[in-house]
């Protein structure tokens, strides 16, 4: 059955204690909602998929188990198979579940890039994502030592897949990054990237 956002957040809180990981999933959620609106899709549903996609990473912090064992937990909790299939499709290499639906491609395209944007905001003295620009993200992108866990080649590839699947190949990488940044800036308070961390 399709779950509510409240149920999705409860799942996250049950399995994820690290705030950095929670912030990542919230960021993917807001980016997914932005794109669902742009594409005329179900905004709430896409947001839920983004919110829970990594819920089991803290208990299964390796790709031998994540997200496969996470899918088992979702089935035990009566999550719908469409949501489970999308989550499995964000690691096709390990699950064998290929990306087919717009939501699948969007999840992949929004996943890693949020990490680079968050890192770019957090190194600013203000810790305010409102001050981050596409140009500042581009500068950090060029320095592969910065947020080294973000695989730039992978981001480029999955953005191109998303572009072909949903935008007839017309979504440029930097337009996409700008869109994700815009979505995250609109929810800066939710992400705690509104400057409140500057003094800490």
Alpha helices in the chain (DSSP H): 5-15, 19-39, 43-52, 68-76, 81-89, 92-95, 102-122, 134-142, 152-166, 173-186
pLDDT band at 37 (very low <50, low <70, confident <90, very high): very high
83 falls within a domain: yes
59 falls within a domain: yes
80 falls within a domain: yes
* Mean pLDDT computed over every residue of the chain: 96
- What's the pLDDT tens digit per position in 65-94? 999 999 999 999 999 999 999 999 999 999
Q: Rounded to whole angstroms, how far apart are CA atoms 59 and 142?
A: 32
Give the pLDDT confidence score for residue 200 in this predicted structure. Answer: 56
pTM of the model: 0.96
Give the pLDDT confidence score for residue 63 in this predicted structure. Answer: 87
- The one-character DSSP state at 79 is -
Give the pLDDT confidence score for residue 25 in this predicted structure. Answer: 98
Q: How many domains does the chain have?
A: 1
198 falls within a domain: no
Give the pLDDT confidence score for residue 2 in this predicted structure. Answer: 77
150 falls within a domain: yes
**Residues ≥6 apart with Cβ < 8 Å to 54:** 16, 21, 24, 25, 28, 66, 67
199 falls within a domain: no
Give the pLDDT confidence score for residue 199 in this predicted structure. Answer: 64
For 62, other C-beta atoms within 10 Å of its C-beta total 8
Res. 35: pLDDT tops 70: yes
Give the pLDDT confidence score for residue 197 in this predicted structure. Answer: 87
Structural domain span for residue 45 = 5-186
Read off the pLDDT of each residue in 155-181 and give the average, rounded to a whole number. Answer: 98
158 falls within a domain: yes
- DSSP code string of 117-152: HHHHHHTSTT-BGGG--HHHHHHHHH-TTTTTTS-H
192 falls within a domain: no
- What's the pLDDT tens digit per position in 43-66? 999 999 999 999 999 999 998 999
Percent pLDDT > 90 in the chain is 96
């Amino acid at each position: 059955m399709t779950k509510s956002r409240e149920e999705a957040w409860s799942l996250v809180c049950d399995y994820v204690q690290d705030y950095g990981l929670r912030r990542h999933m919230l960021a993917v959620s807001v980016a997914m909602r932005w794109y669902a609106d742009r594409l005329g899709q179900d905004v709430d549903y896409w947001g839920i998929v983004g919110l829970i996609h990594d819920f089991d990473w803290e208990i299964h912090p390796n790709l031998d188990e994540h997200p496969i064992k996470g899918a088992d937990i979702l089935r035990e909790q009566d999550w719908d198979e469409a949501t489970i299939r999308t989550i499995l499709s964000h690691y096709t290499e390990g699950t064998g579940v290929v990306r087919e639906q717009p939501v699948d491609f969007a999840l992949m395209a929004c996943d890693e890039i949020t990490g680079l944007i968050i890192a770019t905001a957090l190194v600013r003295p203000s810790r305010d994502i409102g001050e981050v620009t596409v140009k500042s993200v581009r500068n950090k992108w060029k320095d592969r030592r910065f947020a080294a866990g973000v695989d730039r080649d992978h981001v480029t590839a999955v953005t191109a897949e998303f572009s072909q699947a949903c935008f007839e190949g017309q979504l440029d990488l930097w337009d996409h990054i700008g869109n994700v940044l815009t979505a995250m800036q609109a929810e800066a308070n939710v992400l705690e990237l509104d400057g409140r961390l500057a003094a800490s």
